Structure formats: C-alpha cells, structure tokens
Structure 1
Amino acid sequence: MIDFRYHLVSLISVFLALAVGIILGAGPLQNAIGDQLTDQVEALRVERTALRDSLTEAQVTLDEQSAYALAAGAELVEGSLQDVRVAVVDVGKVSGTREAEVVSQLEAAGARVVAQSSMTEAWTSAGDAVLRGTVADGQRGQLDGMVEDDATTAQVLGTVLGVALTEADGEGSESRSTRAVELYQLLSQVGLVDSRFAPSAPAEAVLLLSAGIEEEGVESTESSEVPEDVDEVGAVLAMQAAAGTVVVAGPTVAEGDLVSALRSDEAATGVLSTVSGLEQEVMRLNVPLALAAQYVGEVGQYGFEDDAVVVPPAVDLADRAATGTDGTDGEGS
C-alpha cells in the first residue's frame, strides 16, 4: 500500500511547482516574454508599413505606365482603319458596355461601323439543329461554288453570314448585293441573327466579339455536350473565306472559349487573327490594330498569353486605294 505521506509529498510538490511558476511568470519571465512579444509585434508593424508603402509605390508606377501605354496606343490607333467599313458581330451574350467600348476604339481609328449584329443561341442550341440544317441545305446551291459539296452545316452557315455582311453589288461599290441583302434577311427571319442595326453597306472587315466563358448563372448540372452539327471554328473559318478579313476578340482566354479554340487550331491561326484581354482598356486598343493588320494580310494572335504577342504590327492603309492588300500595285505592272 502507498503510504499517506507519499500523497502528502506529491501534493506539496505540485503546489510548490505552481507557486514557482506563478512567481517566475509574474517576475523575470513576464518581462522577457512581454518584451519578446512586443518586439515581434513592432517588427510585424514595420514590415506591414513597408509592404503597404511598396504596394502604393508599385500601383503608382503601374498607373503611370498604363497611362503612358494608353496615350501612346491612342496615337498608334488614330487613323489605323481610316474609312474601312467594319461589321461588328457578337458571339454570345457580350455586354452592351463592352461592345460600346470596342466600337469606340474602332471609331477612334477612323473605321465606319456599318453593322452591329449578334449570332443568336440558335447557332449552337440542340433544339435548333433542324433549323440550322434546313437553312444550310437550302443555301448550298445559292453560293456559286463558295462551299464544297461535302461542307458541313456550320461551314455553310458561316459562309452565308460572311456573304450577307460583306458582298457588294460590284467591285469597289458601297452598295450591298441583292444576294447579301436576301441572305441577311433570311438569317434574321429564322432567328439566327439579331440586329442592333442591320448592314448599311458591305463591310470590308468583320469583327467577331466573343463573350468568352460565362461563369455566372450556369447550373453545375447543365450538360456541356455539343450538338454534332455545331462547329464554331469551322463556321468562323468559312466566314473568313467568304469575308476576307475576320478578327475574333474576347476576354482573357479560358479553356473552351472561342478564342482559345481558334488558337489551338493550326488552320485558323494561319488565316485569321485573335485578340484577348478585352476586359483591360489597354488591350482594347489592339482591336483596330489587329483589324488593320489582318486587312493587309498580317495574321497574328494578340494578348498576354504565352501563345500570343502583346502588340499587333503597325500598318499604313493610306495608300490602299492604289495598292493591293498583298502589297502589289493595284493597277498591275
């Protein structure tokens, strides 16, 4: 058996240890620990102040650089599309504010915006597959060899829209052809195209504004399966072949959006240009510059991504009336 004295010694030891701890904690250790914590808090305060000052300085520098880029870019953009007729077409639900900002840049470049339209959801929805097929089949024989016999529905519809926006009634004419008028009316009537204002003249260049991937309001259970006849890249390439100058612009690329799909397609990157980052004011300056470059045959992908370059090349369209878009004498040699 354990003697009572053993319990008594144990209790005395516990209380002695507690008393020593209290004495040391209230005495020399208290000051040491307090001083250490105070030093640490002061060091953190100094570090926070330094980081805040550094951030403020970096933000000022960034603002100054951005202001310089915008000012220099505005000088570069001015007149870059002088008197070029441009049709603006939304692909997806592009915000009115974003479109207005881009159109403002086009107008600052001297472009004439001759149409503002939208490709509706009927281009991609599963429920409109029969509509798309019917329209495409009805127009195959009306396109004078512009589409192959085995062209897909998407390719035919892309060609139709390209012709509807750009075909003139004669070389150098500013009047739309009868076919262009009829095709645009057809697309509008069947609900494939909506118009803010319909084409007033044949466009010389087409800007497709992509909404990108919409993250808000998308149900997690929503099916991502694409109907078999839907091929956005094929439709855009067909439009490029019919229109001659097509540029696709959208926000910073995300997996599955139109710009990234085009940049991952070798055939697309060889014939048409893309611009990303439209949510940034400085990148919206690239839109008229990319259109001007594409107009004279300079194809490129522009943005901050690894597979893009930041700034399109500067081109001069002043002598385009006397010079072909390939740089040769328009009157021949």
Structure 2
Amino acid sequence: MIDFRYHLVSLISVFLALAVGIILGAGPLQNAIGDQLTDQVEALRVERTALRDSLSEAEAARDEQSAYALAAGAELVDGSLEDVRVAVVDVDGVSGTREAEVVAQLEAAGARVVAQSSMTGAWTSAGDAVLRGTVADGQRGRLDGVVEGDATTAQVLGSVLGVALTEADAEGSESRSTRAVELYQLLSQVGLIESRFAPSAPAEAVLLLSAGTEAEDVAATESSEVPEDVDAVGAVLALQAAAGTVVVAGPTAVDGDLVADLRSDETATGVLSTVSGIEQELMRLNVPLALAAQYVGEVGQYGFEDDAAVVPPAVDLADRAGSGTDAGTDGEGS
C-alpha cells in the first residue's frame, strides 16, 4: 500500500522541476530563446523584403514586355485589313465597351466596318421556337444552292444571316443584292437582329463577337434546357459557308462557351478561325490579324490555351485569291 510519504515526494519533485524551469527560463535560457526568435523574425523580414522587391521587378519587366508587344503588335496590325469590308455581329450580349475596343482595332487595321448588328435572344429562347421555324421554312426556297434540303432550322437561319451580310448584286460590286437587303430586313422585322447600324455594303468578312460564359450564365438563369432547334455551332458553320471569311472572337475560352464549342468541332476548326482572350488588350490585336489570315485562306485558332496558337501568321492581302467578294455569295442566283 502506497503511504503519504510517496505522495509528498512526488509533489516535492513536481515543484522542484517547476522551480528549476522558472529559474532557467528567467535566466540563461531566456536570452537564448529571445535571441533565436529575434533572428527568425529578422530573417523573415529580410525574406519578405526580397520577395517584394522581386515581385516589383517582375511586374516592371512584365509591363515593359507588354508595352513592347503592344507597340510591335500595333505595327503588325496597321494596314493588315486595308479596305476590307467587315460586318461585326454581337452573338450573345457583348458589352458595348468591349465591342468598341474590338472595332477600334479593326479600324486601326484599315478595315471598313460596314455593319454592326446584334443577334437577339430570339435565336435561343424556347418561347421563340415557332418563330425560328417559321422564318427558316419560309426562306428555304430562296436559298437554293446555299442550304441543303435537309438543313436544320439553325443552319437555315445562319445561312440567311450570312447572305444578308455578304451578298453583292454582282461580282466585285460594292452594292448589296436585293435578296441580301430583303433578308436583313426580314431578320430585323421579326426581331432576330438588332442593328447599331444596318449594312451599308456587302461585307467581305464577318466577325462574330461572343461574351462567353457571362452570356451562358444569363441564359442558364432563364432556362435550364436548350431548345431542340438551337444549335450555335451549326448556325455559325452555315453562316461561314454562306459568307466565306468568318472569325469568332470571345474571352478566354471556357468549356461550354461558343469559342470552346467551335474548337471542339473538327469541321469548324477546318473552315473558320477563333480568337480567345479579347478581354486583354494584347489579344485584341489578334482579331484583325486572324481576319486577314482567314481572308487569304489561313485558318487557325488563336489564344493562350493549349489548343491554340498565340499569334496569327502575318499575311499579305495581295496574296488572296481573286477579289474579297469571291469568299461569300454573289448575286441571287447563288
């Protein structure tokens, strides 16, 4: 049986250990621990300062490189689309500021922006499916040679828009065909198209601007299901077949947005170009360069993503085959 003396010895040992710890902590160990902590804090302070200086140097170098790239890019863009007629179409609610920035790049490249239009929500709304079908069925007969007999509603409407923007009344003419004028008026009257300004001449190239995931988020809040007749990729491909030179530009590509969907389609990547990252000034320089390259037959996908090239090839518009209007549809007999 353990007696009281055992407990007393244990308590004395505990208090002795505590006393020794206090004496050592307040004496010889105090300075050692304090000095060690001070050294560690000072080392961390020096490391933080070095990292801050390194970050500042990296940011300065980045800014210098960006300034150089912008200056060099501006030189490359200058005249790259000289006198080429371009129609700009907002696909899904691009901000006015972003569109103005892109248009400014086109004009800096020497392009003639002959139309600025917006596709309305009626292209994708479930409530407008009957409208889309009625318009498409009514125009199939006017588009012999442009659309296949089994073309879907989305494909017919894409072709209608392509013809409306690009068809001239005669080869090489800068006047729009009667069919182009009537088709554009139809799209406007039924509410499928809104105009910042209507076409003043047949476009030789069409730039489709997408808002990317911002527009997708808006659409998702309105409807969780995409109507069966809605096919954005099919509509764009049909527009390209009718118009010839088509480039689709949008922000950095994200799964589910228009640029990403086109890049995942083998047919699309073989016939039209895309540009991503246009929220960045540097990447907006790619828009006129991609249009110029596509205009002479150089198709590509441009951006910082793994499936894209960073910069379009430099081209000479004198290399294009024939006149620019050859890329689209000419005359009502097309």
TM-score tier by shorter-chain length is over 0.9
Look up the SS of the partner of 2:5 in the other structure.
helix
Amino acid at match of 1:18: L
Deviation readout 1:101-145 (Å, 9 max, x if unpaired) = 100000000001111111111111212111111111111111122
Q: CA deviation at 1:321?
A: 9.3
Name 2:332's counterpart in structure 1. Answer: none
Contact 1:295 1:325 in 2 (8 A): no
Q: Which ranges of structure 2 fall in alignment gaps of 5 or more residues?
A: 327-334
> 8 Å contact 1:296–1:325 — kept in the other structure?
no
C-alpha distance in 1 between matches for 2:10 and 2:59: 65
SS of the aligned residue for 1:171 comes to coil
**1: CA distance, partners of 2:215 / 2:47:** 37
Name 1:58's counterpart in structure 2.
58
Residue 178 to residue 73, structure 1, CA distance change in 2 (3 Å): same
Mean alpha-carbon deviation: is it higher for 214-223 or for 30-39? 214-223
Question: Which deviates more, 31-40 or 295-304?
Answer: 31-40
Q: Deviations over 1:136-156 (max 9, x none)?
A: 111111112211110001100
Which has the bigger relative contact order, CA under 8 A and spacing at least 6? 2
Contact 1:297-1:325 at 8 Å conserved across structures: no
Partner of 1:138: 138
Between 1:210-219 and 1:269-278, the stretch displaced more is: 210-219
Q: CA contact under 8 A between 1:161 and 1:184: conserved in structure 2?
A: yes
Counterpart amino acid of residue 73 in structure 2: G
| Cα distance between partner residues in 2 of 1:124 and 1:199 | 23
> Percent identity of the aligned residues?
89
CA RMSD of aligned residues (A): 2.1
Taking a change above 3 Å as real, the CA distance of residues 151 and 211 of structure 1, as seen in their structure-2 partners, is same
1:84 paired residue number? 84
**Closer/same/farther in 2, CA of residues 220 and 164 from structure 1, 3 Å limit:** closer
For 1:150, the equivalent position in structure 2 comes to 150
1:222 shift after superposition: 6.6
Hey, what does 1:49 align to over in structure 2?
A: 49
Superposition pairs for residues 1-333 of structure 1, below 5 Å?
2-214=2-214, 224-318=224-318
Q: Deviations over 1:219-267 (max 9, x none)?
A: 9877543211111111001000100110000111000011111111110
Hey, what's the Cα distance between the residues in 2 that align with 1:189 and 1:2? 104
**What's the TM-score once normalised by structure 1's chain length?**
0.93
Q: Structure 1 CA distance, aligned partners of 2:118 and 2:32?
A: 72
Q: What is residue 331 of structure 1 aligned with on the other side?
A: none
Question: Are 2:93 and 2:215, in contact at CA under 8 Å, matched by a contact in 1?
Answer: no
Deviation at 1:39, TM superposition (A): 1.4
SS of 1:149's equivalent? coil
Compute the TM-score of the two structures, normalised by the length of structure 2: 0.92
Count of residue correspondences: 326
- Aligned counterparts of 1:319 and 1:149: Cα–Cα separation in 2: 35
Q: Which moved more, 1:221-230 or 1:125-134?
A: 221-230
What amino acid is the match of 2:105? Answer: Q
Select between 186-195 and 281-290 the one with higher mean Cα deviation.
Answer: 186-195
Q: Could you tell me whether the CA contact under 8 Å between 2:172 and 2:323 is conserved in 1?
A: no
- Secondary structure class of the residue paired with 2:271: coil
Gaps of 5+ in 1: 327-333
Q: Which amino acid aligns with 2:201?
A: A
1:44 deviates by 1.1
Counterpart AA for 1:308: A
- Contact kept, 8 Å, 2:213 with 2:254, in 1: the verdict is yes
- Judged with a 3 Å threshold, the aligned counterparts in structure 2 of structure 1 residues 226 and 321 are, in CA distance, closer, same or farther, namely closer
Distance 2:291 2:27 in 1: 78
| Deviating more after overlay: 298-307 vs 8-17 | 8-17
3-state SS in 2 of match to 1:313: coil
Deviation at 1:8, TM superposition (A): 2.3
The alpha-carbon deviation at position 5 of structure 1 amounts to: 2.5
Q: Which moved more, 1:239-248 or 1:4-13?
A: 4-13
Asked whether the equivalents of residues 206 and 246 of structure 2 are also in contact (C-alpha less than 8 Å), the reply is: yes
For 1:144 and 1:217, locate their aligned partners in 2 and report how far apart those are by CA, in whole Å: 37
Name whichever structure is richer in helix by fraction: 2
